[in-house]
Each structure stands twice: as C-alpha cells, then as structure tokens.
Amino acid sequence: MATCALVGASEFNAPRFLEMHAEGAFDYVIAVDGGLAHLEEAGVRADLAIGDFDSLGYVPRGLRVARFPVDKDKSDMELALDRALSQRYGEAYVFGALGGRLDHTLANLQLLASFSERGLYVTAVGLDQAVAFVTGPDVFELPAAEEGTVSVFAMNDACTGVFERGLRWSLDDFTMTNRTSRGLSNELQGEAVVIGVEEGTLAVFLPA
C-alpha cells in the first residue's frame, strides 16, 4: 500500500517523522502551508507544498507547489488530503495536525474521520499521542506493550459492534456514541490489543 506523509503547521513530532522517513515509510511527502518550515528545519525535502501559504508567509520556490486562494471553502489540510486520495495513496500519516489551536485540532480530527470513511487509512501523529481512525467493518491492532493509555471515541452519532480486546477493560458488541466519555483512558497491560467496529468510525488515541 502506497503511503503519504502530510506535514501541517501545528506541533511537529520531528523525531518520530525522521525515524519513519529513514525507514522508508513514506512514498510521498506533502508540506501543508506552514508545515514546510518544519520539514526545512528537519532537513527533509517535500515532494509537494500545498496551501494558500498565509501561515508560511511566502510562496515556496524550487519545488512543486499547488497554490490556492486565501478565500476558500476548504482548509489547506483538507486540500492536501484530497490530493493524497486523488493520487491513490492508501495510507496517510498526518503530522502537525494536533495541538496548538483547539479549533484547528477539532477540524482536523473531523477531516481525518471523513477521509477514513472514504477509504484512506489515516493516522495523526502528535507530540505525545497518535490518533488512528478505524471505519467499520474493520479492526485496529496494537502490539503488546506493558504500559500506556488508549482511548476510543465514536466519531459518529452511533458506532455499532464495537469491541476491545487486550486492554484492562474490554468491550463486546457495544454501541458507542459521540455523546459520552466512555472509552476514555483504558490501559495497556502487556497484551496485544485488537479494537474493532462493525459500523461507524472510531478515533483510537494511543501513545505516539
């Protein structure tokens, strides 16, 4: 499966990005507006820079650029996700989308859930947490770890057939809604973890 990395302007987990980049995890790297500054500081060249470049403050030169007007109906991150999907990438790791302004973080979480529902396997990577999106019918698997916290939330009015295995508290054929705190702060306990959903989209928060 071809994998794309998107780098936005918010908090950037440079060590994790560079580790994955060195391992050859990314087939294509998109700088999302001000995210280009993160990549330049990390010494990584973007394959494409996209956005209106109001955050970056200038239009980049010397690389491929997709420039959009400031007055538009989609955020730069949504435009970048559109591009990843149109270029038939099956998986996307999104850096610089969490932290900073809460409204931007919420908008990005909603966006990533919607792209998961369009068939893109999406994981947002923050400084201390990552968020994987699982759209049913599907499962998410996590290798065994002795400690850490995992939270699972519904991104729809109702996610049905939710189950969790390998965590301290398990679920079986549960209907989870987006109007509850149930799913918050489950615990890893040295076992492999499997989280699944029959219908709907889950956001799985885990250690980065």
| CA gap 197, 202 in Å, rounded | 7
Question: Above pLDDT 90, what percent of the chain?
Answer: 96
pLDDT tens digits for range 154-203:
999 999 999 999 999 999 999 999 999 999 999 999 999 999 999 999 99
pLDDT tens digits for range 83-92:
999 999 999 9
Q: What is the mean pLDDT of the chain?
A: 96
Task: Tell me the pLDDT band of 128, cut-offs 50, 70 and 90.
Answer: very high
Positive or negative torsion for Cα 4, 6, 11, 12? positive
Radius of gyration of the chain (CA): 17
Tokens of 29: 């790297």
| CA gap 130, 204 in Å, rounded | 8
| CA gap 193, 171 in Å, rounded | 12
- pLDDT computed for residue 172 by the predictor: 96
Task: Tell me the pLDDT band of 208, cut-offs 50, 70 and 90.
Answer: confident
Q: 93 with 85: CB under 8 angstroms?
A: no
Block residue for tokens 């499966």: 1
The pLDDT of 120-144, averaged and rounded, is: 97
| CA gap 120, 207 in Å, rounded | 21
pLDDT tens digits for range 4-55:
999 999 999 999 999 999 999 999 999 999 999 999 999 999 999 999 999 8
| CA gap 77, 103 in Å, rounded | 13
Q: 2 with 27: CB under 8 angstroms?
A: yes
List strands edge to edge, sheet with 159-165.
138-142, 193-197, 159-165, 171-176
| CA gap 176, 122 in Å, rounded | 20
Q: Residue 132: which of 148, 105, 151, 159 has the closest Cα?
A: 151
- pLDDT computed for residue 163 by the predictor: 97
- pLDDT computed for residue 162 by the predictor: 98
